[in-house]
Chains A and B, each alone.
Chain A
Amino acid sequence: MVHWSAEEKQLITSVWAKVNVEECGAEALARLLIVYPWTQRFFSDFGNLSSPTAIIGNPKVRAHGKKVLTSFGEAIKNLDNLKGTYSKLSELHCDKLHVDPENFRLLGDILVIVLAAHFTKDFTPACQATWQKLVGLVAHALARKYH
Chain B
Amino acid sequence: MLTAEDKKLIQQIWGKLGGAEEEVGADALNRMFHSYPPTKTYFPHFDLSPGSDQVRGHGKKVVAALSNAIKNMDNLSQALSELSNLHAYNLRVDPPCFSLQFLSQCLQVSLATRLGKEYTPEVHSAVDKFMSAVASVLAEKYR
Q: Report 28 cross-chain contacts, Cβ distance below 8 Å, ordered by A residue.
A: A30-B121, A31-B121, A34-B122, A34-B124, A35-B124, A35-B128, A52-B121, A55-B121, A56-B121, A113-B109, A113-B119, A113-B124, A116-B108, A116-B109, A116-B113, A117-B112, A117-B113, A120-B114, A120-B116, A121-B113, A125-B27, A125-B31, A125-B34, A125-B35, A128-B35, A128-B106, A129-B31, A129-B35
Q: What 4 A-B pairs have minimum CB-CB distances, sorted nearest first? A: A116-B112, A117-B112, A129-B35, A132-B35
B65 contacts the other chain (Cβ, under 8 Å)? no
Tell me the smallest distance from the CB of A137 to a CB of chain B, in Å: 13
Complex Cα gap A143–B106 (Å):
24
Contact residues on A (Cβ < 8 Å of other chain), bracket: 20 to 34
Tell me the smallest distance from the CB of B38 to a CB of chain A, in Å: 13
Chain B residues bordering chain A, tally (CB within 8 A): 22
Contact with B along A45-75 (1 / 0, CB 8 A): 0000000100110000000000000000000
- The SS class assigned to the A binding surface is helix
Closest to A118 in B: B116
Q: Which residues in A have their C-beta under 8 angstroms from that of B121?
A: 27, 30-31, 34-35, 52, 55-56
Tell me the smallest distance from the CB of B3 to a CB of chain A, in Å: 12
Q: Which residues in B have their C-beta under 8 angstroms from that of A34?
A: 121-122, 124-125
- Interface on A for B, CB 8 Å cutoff? 27, 30-31, 34-35, 52, 55-56, 109, 112-113, 116-121, 123, 125-126, 128-129, 132-133
